[in-house]
């Protein structure tokens, strides 16, 4: 078989090609040259670009085999995502590649504005020694207001906390409890403007955020405010900002982004209390390398039919950070479900409860199906073909969400109806700061067990001596028990022993246990790949 063809249309870091590996035919072209791009893209499976290559409807029409467009960076201004979606072409970017670089630049602009670095440097180059004119202010014990507590906003908050600042934030989509864990107090925008000595903007540019910081907001701020915008141009009204800086309504500003870019001629550049850079947030060697590696990994996943977490238009879009830890847990629950049920369910409900339901959790339905079918079909199961496998087998699938979760912060349950009409379920959750996976329910029996590579389950009539018998047989077989849970529905009723073991339990040992305790069901589960 010929290798999939990947076209690199702009200069990317050498690490990008290394991350792609030897499984692809790599081609190169100058994507900024349309006459070169259009024929080059005609027969490729993937194209990697930065910002100079326009992947528009014309380019997509020319690319008859194209499956994925990968932008080695955050923005997608040069990719027609709608046209790509209509053509069935996945679009990915590298949304976290530049977050550290962007956060560090925001802090740099804040420090530079507070200490008049730019005009002091210019004066010195002009042969002037003006120490008294450029007396600055400290960040220590001042109040920093973060407008937008997303990934970059959090990183800025952490760094400013290290300076000894009191950090407050405005973000209507972040819960106060989550911010409090980071030592950040959530406030309204009005409160932030009234309290902040320094303000850093970290919001996406949307119709709702354009002009969010305008003349009215700047009038409400302290006259000593230092404002930084290293997010997106237009969120801060530049005309209003100029007036506020010129009249002394606020003290200084640090800017990396502008409403129209490239921007080389702005009244703001005339002011000594402005320090400005030409959109350098992502312009570090490390960010460029991270971006290249990230999109190379996405290309590998896409061309192998796997879930692509950074897809923006296919397979449910970008996956929220709060949802991602639940993906491997849900896949394991699917595998445990099928192993214990012993058959393919006629219908499956993937129930997601708790805080994560405020995000798009559609990916957890895919993860559950991947797990359900992983061990029962010959072909490789992916997030792409798992729903097709369910449809082929007549399995109806439904995603159920509920923000209420009485016993756990978040709970994921796979509940299925079997051919005879009986229901079967397994549930899991993530606990602690490290998000440790726990199996917490098996068909109505409450347990608390880590879903390790090897598990075993025994259901029997509750009576004395059964647990000891199971342990004795496993010990004689050289199978070490790592964890054990015993549950029952009532005294003398049905009981369940759930075990995590260091090695797989041989089939003959399972049968020996079945006979010894007269078990109704005996199952071994192997979660290794």
Catalytic residues: 232, 261, 279
Determine how many CB atoms are found less than 10 A away from the CB of residue 261: 11
Q: Spell out where 180-297 has E strands.
A: 185-186, 198-201, 226-229, 252-255, 274-276
The CA-atom distances, in angstroms, between 291 and each of 246, 283, 342, 353 are 39, 11, 44, 34
Supply 408's token pair. 């756990």
Compute the distance between CA of residue 427 and CA of residue 411 in angstroms, rounded to an integer: 7
Compute the distance between CA of residue 423 and CA of residue 420 in angstroms, rounded to an integer: 9
In the block, tokens 């934030």 appear at 169
Determine how many CB atoms are found less than 10 A away from the CB of residue 506: 13
User: Residue 347 class from Cβ within 10 Å (0-12 exposed, 13-18 middle, 19+ buried)?
Assistant: middle
Q: Dihedrals φ, ψ of 360, to 5°?
A: -75, 115
Would you say 222 and 196 are in contact if contact means Cβ atoms under 8 Å apart?
A: yes
Pairing between β-strand 198-201 and β-strand 226-229 as defined by DSSP bridges: parallel
Compute the distance between CA of residue 519 and CA of residue 522 in angstroms, rounded to an integer: 7
Q: Spell out where 407-493 has E strands.
A: 410-417, 423-431, 436-442, 445-449, 454-461, 481-488
The CA-atom distances, in angstroms, between 63 and each of 1, 38, 46, 321 are 21, 8, 9, 33
The CA-atom distances, in angstroms, between 482 and each of 233, 456, 504 are 55, 11, 12
Supply 363's token pair. 């990916």
Compute the distance between CA of residue 234 and CA of residue 257 in angstroms, rounded to an integer: 8
Supply 433's token pair. 């700061």
The radius of gyration of the chain's CA atoms, rounded to the nearest angstrom, is 29
Compute the distance between CA of residue 440 and CA of residue 332 in angstroms, rounded to an integer: 13
Pairing between β-strand 454-461 and β-strand 494-501 as defined by DSSP bridges: antiparallel
Q: Dihedrals φ, ψ of 170, to 5°?
A: -120, 120
Tell me which DSSP letter residue 381 carries.
P
Compute the distance between CA of residue 436 and CA of residue 456 in angstroms, rounded to an integer: 20
The CA-atom distances, in angstroms, between 224 and each of 140, 190, 194, 217, 259 are 15, 16, 11, 14, 25
């Amino acid at each position: 078989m010929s290798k999939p063809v990947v076209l690199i249309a702009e200069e990317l870091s050498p690490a990008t090609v290394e991350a792609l590996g030897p499984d692809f035919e790599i081609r190169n072209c100058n994507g900024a040259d349309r006459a070169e791009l259009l024929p080059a893209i005609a027969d490729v499976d993937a194209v990697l670009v930065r910002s100079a290559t326009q992947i528009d409807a014309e380019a997509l029409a020319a690319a008859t085999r194209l499956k994925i467009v990968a932008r080695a960076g955050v923005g997608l201004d040069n990719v027609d995502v709608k046209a790509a979606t209509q053509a069935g072409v996945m679009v990915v970017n590298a949304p976290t590649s530049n977050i550290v670089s962007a956060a560090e630049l925001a802090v740099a602009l804040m420090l530079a504005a507070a200490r008049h670095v730019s005009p002091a440097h210019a004066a010195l180059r002009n042969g002037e020694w003006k120490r008294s004119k450029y007396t600055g202010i400290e960040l220590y014990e001042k109040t920093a207001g973060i407008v937008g507590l997303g990934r970059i906003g959090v990183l800025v908050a952490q760094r400013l906390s290290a300076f000894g600042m009191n950090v407050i934030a405005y973000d209507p989509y972040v819960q106060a409890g989550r911010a409090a864990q980071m030592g950040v107090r959530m406030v309204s925008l009005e409160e932030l403007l009234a309290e902040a000595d320094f303000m850093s903007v970290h919001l996406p540019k949307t119709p709702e955020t354009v002009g969010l910081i305008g003349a009215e907001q700047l009038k409400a701020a302290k006259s000593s405010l230092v404002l930084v915008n290293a997010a997106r141009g237009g969120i801060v009204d530049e005309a209003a900002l100029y007036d506020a800086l010129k009249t002394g309504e606020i003290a200084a500003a640090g800017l990396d982004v502008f409403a129209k870019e490239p921007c080389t001629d702005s009244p703001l550049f005339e002011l000594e209390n402005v320090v400005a850079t030409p959109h350098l947030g992502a312009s570090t060697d490390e960010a460029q390398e991270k971006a290249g590696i990230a999109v190379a990994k996405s290309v590998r996943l896409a061309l192998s039919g796997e879930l692509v977490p950074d897809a923006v238009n296919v397979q449910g879009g970008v996956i929220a950070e709060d949802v991602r830890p639940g993906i491997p847990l849900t896949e394991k629950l699917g595998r445990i479900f099928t192993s214990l049920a012993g058959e393919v369910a006629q219908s499956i409900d993937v129930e997601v409860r708790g805080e994560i339901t405020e995000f798009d959790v559609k990916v957890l339905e895919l993860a559950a199906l991947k797990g359900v079918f992983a061990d029962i079909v010959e072909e490789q199961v992916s997030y792409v073909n798992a729903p097709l496998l369910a449809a082929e087998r007549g399995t109806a699938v439904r995603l159920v969400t509920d923000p209420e979760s009485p016993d756990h912060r978040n709970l994921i349950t796979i509940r299925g109806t079997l051919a005879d009409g009986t229901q079967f379920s397994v549930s899991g959750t993530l606990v602690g700061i490290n998000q440790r996976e726990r199996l917490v329910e098996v068909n109505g029996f409450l347990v608390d067990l880590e879903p390790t590579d090897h598990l075993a389950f025994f259901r029997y009539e509750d009576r004395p001596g059964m647990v000891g018998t199971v342990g004795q047989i496993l010990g004689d077989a050289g199978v070490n028990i790592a964890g054990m849970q015993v549950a029952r529905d009532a005294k003398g009723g049905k009981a369940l022993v759930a075990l995590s073991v260091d090695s797989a339990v041989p089939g003959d040992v399972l049968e020996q246990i079945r006979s010894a305790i007269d078990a109704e069901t005996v199952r071994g589960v192997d979660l290794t790949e």
